[in-house]
Chains A and B, each alone.
Chain A
C-alpha cells in the first residue's frame, strides 16, 4: 500500500519554515504561549474607508475571529480584488495578496493549492465577486478548497463613486436612497434584475453558506469564525452598507432577522427556498443557511498522490522513460 505523502510534499515544493530545528522548537513554544488579541491583527496602515463604512465592522469581526483562533499571522493569507473592500488585507497584520479586479478567488485557490497548511481568506465586494469576477465563483465552489470567501455586499460600486452593482435592487427603489445612482440610471431606475447572490451560491453547491450584517459585530465575528472552521469552501455574505453612496443602514437594521432557532442547516432545498422567499418579503436572514462537509480538493489530491506514486515519487528521469 502506498504511503500517503506527508503534508509538506503536497505543498508543491513550498519550503519549510525557515527556523533551524532548535529554533523551530523554541518558536513553537513561544507560539503556544502567545495568546493573541484583536490588536495583534491590526496593521500599521489606517483604513482608508469613509467614516461609517460597514467594512470597518467586517474588518474588526475578521480580526476578532483570527484572534479567537490564535492564528500565527505568518500562516494567514488574505486575498482581495479591487474595490473599497479590496483594500482590507492592508489593514490586517498578516500576509496579503491584492490582485486585479474580480480575481481574488483564483488567486486564493492558487495560494491554497500550493500550500494547504495556510489559512486562506478571500475578500471582496459585490461588484468584484459577482460582476467582473462572477464566473469564478461556481468553480471555486466546485473545487471546494478550504477557503473562506467574505463578500462585503453594499449593493453599490463605492470606489468608483456610486454606480449600481449586480446586487442593486431593480427599478427606482435604490435611486431614492442614493445621491449617485441617478447619474447612471436617470429615467426608469436600474433596468437590470437584482442577483440573488446567496441563492446562487447555494445552488452552485457550496458547502457552507451564511449571511451576516456589519452592524451586528458579535454575530458577524461568530459567523466568520464558523466559516474559518468549516473544512471546505465557506461563503460568508457580509452585508456592509455604504453610507456615502447608498446608505442602507436604516432599512437593513429593520429587515435583518435571525434564521429560525430550529433551522436545519443540512437541507439545501429549504435553504434555496429561504433565500428566494426573502426577496419578496423584503427581509434578510442572518446565520448559517447551509452547511455540509464534503471532501476538499486537498483531500482528493491526497488520494491522487497515493495512487500515482506507487511506492515513491517518480524522478524526472523516470518520467522521461516514456519517450525512449
Chain B
C-alpha cells in the first residue's frame, strides 16, 4: 500500500472561518494518530482579503508543507482563481457552485457542493458553515460519520454544549449531501488509532515557550508584533502558574532593557520579537554583550524591510542578528529547524546564554512559528539545564577585592547577584577593567575585547548544532540553516532515491560559525549551493567572507516557505545541466 500523503487546502475570504476548518481538521487528524503539518497564508488585516489554510497529512513525520494539492476546497471565485493552478492532475477541487464558476477546460475532478445554500436553507445557522465544510472534507477523506462526530465534539465546536447540537446537524448534512450525490474520492484515511498522551500538537511558538519554561525562564518582557505575539500570549497564561513574571512593555526597547535588568538579578529571561522590534533592540544587545548579561532574544522573522510583509515568511534577518551592533558586540546566534526543535533549541538558547553570560538570538520565522506539527512529548527528566557561574557562597571576598570580569581560562567570570552575593559591583556599558571600573586605556579595551570575543568562540564545540546528511561522494552539496531543513531533507531523500549523488549540511548555530564542518563539507563536494529564503544570500555571503570560498545560491523570496519540490527541481537542474 502507498504511504499516506495528502495535501489539503481550504481557501476563502479572510474572517469567514476557513482557518478554523483547517485548524480543526489538522487537530482531529493529529489526535487520530496521524502526522500533520499546517501552512497558512493570510493577509495582515483582520478582515477581508484572500486567505487560505493547508494541511498535509502523512503516517510518518511531515517535513514540509507539501507541493501540489490533492484536495482544494474554495468558498468563492477569487480563491478558485488563485489556487486552482496548484492542484495535482490527479487532485480534486471542491467548490461552491453558487459562489463561483469552475473552469470546465481543466482536466481535474471538480465537485460542486453548495455550501452557502445548504447552510442557509437546511442548517439555518450561518455560523455552522465551517462545520459543514469540515464534514464535506471528512466524508471525502473516507472518515466514518461516527468518527467525524467525535472529532467535532472534541474540537472548539464542541466546547459550548448549546451549539454542539446544531454543529452535529451541520456535519450530518454534509454526509447526507455527499451520500445523496454519490461523491466518492476513493480515499480511506485511517483514523481509528487514537493518539496517546505521548504526542503533542504544537506550533513552533508554543514549543519554544515550553522549552523556555523547561530551561527555567521565569521573566519575559515583550511588545506585541506579528508573528511573535503568540509567544507572549502563551507565556501570559503559563507564567503565573509557575511563579514567573510576564510584562507587556511600552516598546521593544523597554522589553529588552527590562529583561537585562531582570537577568542582572539572576533570573532567566527572554524577549521575543520580529524584525522591526529586533532593529529597536540592537543598542541594548550591545549593552548585554558589554555587561556580560545572559539574555535570550527570539526573532520570529517575517518579510522585510520596514513593515514589509508581517504575515509572510523570510530568512532575512540573519545579517542583523549576527552583525547588528555599533562597535563590535559578539553574541551567539542560533536557529530552530522544526516544531520539535523549537522546544530543544529554546532550552539550548538559555543554556548558552547562562553558560557564556551573553545575549543569544534564537531565529525562528513566521512559517515555523505558526504552523502546527505533531511532536513527541519531551521527557523533561532528560532535559539538561545549565546555571550561570557565580561567586563562592562564603562571601569572604570584599567588593573592593572582587573582580566581576576576572580573566579566567575560559574567559567566563563568576557573576554576583544582588540580594545574594556581597560582591556588589556596577555593570556598565562603558569600557571597563576586570574590577568593573571604567577604563578607556588601550590595554583594558584590548583585554576586554578579547574576552568578549574569545568567550563565545568555544560555543562552536557545543554538540548538535551542525549536521551532515546524504551521500558521502556527493556531486552537489546543499547548505541550509534553520527552518529550511525540512524541505531540504525531503528533497534530498527524493533525489537520492532517484540516484542523484547529493548531500546537505544544516546549520543551527550561525554565530560563532562552525567553520571546521563548513570547510570540510565545501571542500569535499564539487558544487555547493546555499539554500535560503532571502534575496541576497545572507548566509552564503557570510560563509564566503569567513571561508574565502565560492558558493552557488538558491534563493526564493515569495514570502512563502520552501516546498520540497522547489529544491528537488533545483537539484535535478544543477546535476542534469550543470
- List chain A positions with a Cβ less than 8 A from chain B: 5, 9-20, 23, 27, 43-45, 73-77, 79, 89-90, 93-100, 103, 105-115, 117-118, 135-136, 138-139, 143, 301, 304-305, 307-309, 313-317, 319-321, 323-324
| Contact of A12 with B218 at beta-carbon distance under 8 Å, contacts A106-B261, A108-B261, A118-B419 already known | yes
- Interface assignment of B206: CB less than 8 Å from any CB of chain A: yes
Q: Which residue of B lies closest to A301 (CB)?
A: B245
Query: What's the nearest-Cβ distance from chain B to residue A124, in Å?
Result: 13
12 pairs, CB–CB < 8 Å, chain A vs chain B = A18-B421, A95-B426, A106-B258, A109-B254, A109-B258, A113-B247, A114-B245, A314-B242, A316-B380, A320-B200, A320-B378, A323-B201
Chain A residues within an 8 Å CB radius of B391: 18
Query: What's the nearest-Cβ distance from chain B to residue A305, in Å?
Result: 6
Contact of A115 among B214, B247, B265, B284 (CB under 8 A): B265
**Does A100 contact B283, Cβ atoms closer than 8 Å?**
yes
Query: What's the nearest-Cβ distance from chain A to residue B124, in Å?
Result: 34
**Does B419 contact A316, Cβ atoms closer than 8 Å?**
no
What is the CA–CA distance of A74 and B268 in the complex, to the nearest angstrom? 20
**Does A111 contact B265, Cβ atoms closer than 8 Å?**
yes
**Does A107 contact B265, Cβ atoms closer than 8 Å?**
no
- CB under 8 Å from chain A, chain B span 421-455: 421-422, 424-430, 437-438
**Does B424 contact A110, Cβ atoms closer than 8 Å?**
no
Chain A residues within an 8 Å CB radius of B377: 320, 324
Chain B residues within an 8 Å CB radius of A138: 250
**Does A308 contact B240, Cβ atoms closer than 8 Å?**
yes
**Does B399 contact A107, Cβ atoms closer than 8 Å?**
no
B197-233: contact bitstring with A at CB < 8 Å (1 yes, 0 no)? Answer: 1011110001000100110101101000000000000
Contact of A118 among B242, B254, B265, B400 (CB under 8 A): B265
Query: What's the nearest-Cβ distance from chain B to residue A87, in Å?
Result: 8
- Interface assignment of B287: CB less than 8 Å from any CB of chain A: yes
**Does A12 contact B245, Cβ atoms closer than 8 Å?**
yes
**Does B426 contact A13, Cβ atoms closer than 8 Å?**
no
- 20 additional A-B pairs beyond A93-B424, A305-B243, beta carbons within 8 Å, are A12-B262, A18-B395, A23-B395, A77-B265, A89-B426, A96-B426, A97-B426, A98-B426, A103-B284, A109-B258, A110-B269, A111-B262, A113-B261, A113-B262, A115-B265, A115-B266, A118-B265, A139-B250, A315-B380, A319-B238
**Does B395 contact A19, Cβ atoms closer than 8 Å?**
yes
What is the CA–CA distance of A301 and B291 in the complex, to the nearest angstrom? 29
- Interface assignment of B251: CB less than 8 Å from any CB of chain A: yes
**Does A74 contact B424, Cβ atoms closer than 8 Å?**
yes
B343-376: contact bitstring with A at CB < 8 Å (1 yes, 0 no)? Answer: 0000000000000000000000000000000000
- Interface assignment of B420: CB less than 8 Å from any CB of chain A: yes
| Contact of A77 with B393 at beta-carbon distance under 8 Å, contacts A103-B254, A324-B200 already known | no
What is the CA–CA distance of A113 and B422 in the complex, to the nearest angstrom? 21
Contact of A74 among B214, B287, B419 (CB under 8 A): B419
**Does B418 contact A75, Cβ atoms closer than 8 Å?**
yes
- Interface assignment of B152: CB less than 8 Å from any CB of chain A: no
What is the CA–CA distance of A135 and B247 in the complex, to the nearest angstrom? 16
**Does B425 contact A12, Cβ atoms closer than 8 Å?**
no
Query: What's the nearest-Cβ distance from chain B to residue A229, in Å?
Result: 19
Q: Which of B206, B419, B428 has the most CB of A within 10 A?
A: B419
Q: Which of A100, A115, A323 has the most CB of B within 10 A?
A: A323
**Does A90 contact B268, Cβ atoms closer than 8 Å?**
no
Chain A residues within an 8 Å CB radius of B474: none
What is the CA–CA distance of A313 and B210 in the complex, to the nearest angstrom? 15
What is the CA–CA distance of A324 and B253 in the complex, to the nearest angstrom? 36
Chain A residues within an 8 Å CB radius of B264: 77, 95, 97, 107, 110-111
- Interface assignment of B267: CB less than 8 Å from any CB of chain A: yes
- Interface assignment of B158: CB less than 8 Å from any CB of chain A: no
Q: Which residue of A lies closest to B381 (CB)?
A: A317
At the interface, is chain B mostly helix, strand, loop or mixed?
mixed
| Contact of A12 with B241 at beta-carbon distance under 8 Å, contacts A79-B261, A110-B258 already known | no
- Interface assignment of B166: CB less than 8 Å from any CB of chain A: no
**Does B267 contact A13, Cβ atoms closer than 8 Å?**
yes
State the 3 A-B residue pairs at the shortest beta-carbon distance, nearest first.
A110-B261, A96-B426, A110-B258
Query: What's the nearest-Cβ distance from chain A to residue B405, in Å?
Result: 14
Query: What's the nearest-Cβ distance from chain A to residue B279, in Å?
Result: 15
Q: Which residue of A lies closest to B211 (CB)?
A: A316
Q: Which residue of A lies closest to B387 (CB)?
A: A15
Chain A residues within an 8 Å CB radius of B221: 106, 110
Contact of B206 among A79, A111, A323 (CB under 8 A): A323
B141-172: contact bitstring with A at CB < 8 Å (1 yes, 0 no)? Answer: 00000000000000000000000000000000
- CB under 8 Å from chain A, chain B span 236-295: 238, 240-245, 247, 249-251, 253-255, 257-269, 283-284, 287, 291
**Does A98 contact B260, Cβ atoms closer than 8 Å?**
no
**Does A115 contact B260, Cβ atoms closer than 8 Å?**
no
| Contact of A309 with B261 at beta-carbon distance under 8 Å, contacts A12-B218, A103-B254 already known | no
What is the CA–CA distance of A304 and B395 in the complex, to the nearest angstrom? 35
Chain B residues within an 8 Å CB radius of A20: 393
Chain A residues within an 8 Å CB radius of B251: 135
What is the CA–CA distance of A45 and B436 in the complex, to the nearest angstrom? 11
Chain A residues within an 8 Å CB radius of B287: 99-100
What is the CA–CA distance of A95 and B293 in the complex, to the nearest angstrom? 14
Q: Which residue of A lies closest to B260 (CB)?
A: A107
- Interface assignment of B108: CB less than 8 Å from any CB of chain A: no
Chain A residues within an 8 Å CB radius of B425: 95-96
**Does A99 contact B260, Cβ atoms closer than 8 Å?**
yes
Chain B residues within an 8 Å CB radius of A5: 243
Query: What's the nearest-Cβ distance from chain A to residue B209, in Å?
Result: 9
**Does A100 contact B257, Cβ atoms closer than 8 Å?**
yes
What is the CA–CA distance of A112 and B504 in the complex, to the nearest angstrom? 48
B393-426: contact bitstring with A at CB < 8 Å (1 yes, 0 no)? Answer: 1110001100000000000000001111110111
Query: What's the nearest-Cβ distance from chain B to residue A78, in Å?
Result: 8
What is the CA–CA distance of A11 and B266 in the complex, to the nearest angstrom? 10
Contact of B243 among A10, A135, A307, A317 (CB under 8 A): A10
Chain B residues within an 8 Å CB radius of A14: 265-267, 417, 419-420
Query: What's the nearest-Cβ distance from chain B to residue A122, in Å?
Result: 10
Q: Which residue of B lies closest to A117 (CB)?
A: B419
What is the CA–CA distance of A313 and B283 in the complex, to the nearest angstrom? 36
**Does B243 contact A9, Cβ atoms closer than 8 Å?**
yes
**Does B250 contact A115, Cβ atoms closer than 8 Å?**
no
Query: What's the nearest-Cβ distance from chain A to residue B94, in Å?
Result: 30
**Does A15 contact B420, Cβ atoms closer than 8 Å?**
yes
| Contact of A99 with B257 at beta-carbon distance under 8 Å, contacts A115-B419, A139-B250 already known | yes
| Contact of A114 with B266 at beta-carbon distance under 8 Å, contacts A73-B424, A316-B213, A324-B377 already known | yes
Query: What's the nearest-Cβ distance from chain A to residue B281, in Å?
Result: 11
**Does A324 contact B197, Cβ atoms closer than 8 Å?**
yes
What is the CA–CA distance of A44 and B421 in the complex, to the nearest angstrom? 19
Contact of A114 among B213, B265, B283, B399 (CB under 8 A): B265
Chain A residues within an 8 Å CB radius of B210: 316, 319-320, 323
Q: Which of B202, B213, B242, B429 has the most CB of A within 10 A?
A: B242
Chain B residues within an 8 Å CB radius of A105: 254
Q: Which residue of A lies closest to B438 (CB)?
A: A90
